[in-house]
Amino acid sequence: MRKRAAKKRPLLPDPRFNDQLVTRFVNMMMWDGKKSVAFKVFYDAIDIVESKKTNEEKTALETWKDALSNVMPHVEVRSRRVGGATFQIPMQIRPDRKVSTAMKWLISYSRKRNEKSMAQRLASEILAAAKEEGAAVKKRVDTHKMAEANKAFSHFRF
């Protein structure tokens, strides 16, 4: 590398739950720098989860964290050229990349749902993911299947 790696900026914890993970999620969800709108969408979604959830001993925030960990991939495939052929090589994922990938999937599949508001879409995707179902969890399962199918090429690791 010519330049050194950029240093991580410290994230401020969010006002309601005092949690940095929430801020990171909201930053990913935000469009056009409208953070207050993104926070409102997230908190509304959490309130909907609170009213709809079936498991009573867990808070809505814990349900969201469960959903995130259910969506988190552990391995992924990376493309690598070896002698004119491109192989999909399964690799372990760094912890911070696991979290951000899970967040991206949860948000993008929430946006593709067809409820009325983004808060409702996000809430139903969170509830689905917490129960190990929904599009975001399916994406993780597919990613793991792909890695499993290409296990034979794991000796080409970088």
**Residue-range domain boundaries for the chain:** 36-49+60-154
* Distance separating alpha carbons of residues 58 and 110, to the nearest angstrom: 22
Q: With contact defined as beta carbons under 8 Å apart, do 133 and 122 qualify?
A: no
Superfamily of domain 36-49+60-154, CATH level 4: Ribosomal protein S7/S5 (1.10.455.10)
Q: Supply the pTM of this predicted model.
A: 0.85
Share of the chain above pLDDT 70, in %: 98
pLDDT of residue 113: 87
What is the mean predicted confidence (pLDDT) over 1-18? 86
What amino acid occupies position 15? P
pLDDT tens by residue, 91-135: 888 988 999 999 999 999 999 989 898 889 999 998 888 888 888
Give the Å distances, CA to CA, from 79 to 61, 71, 97, 106, 138. 36, 22, 17, 24, 22
pLDDT for position 8: 84
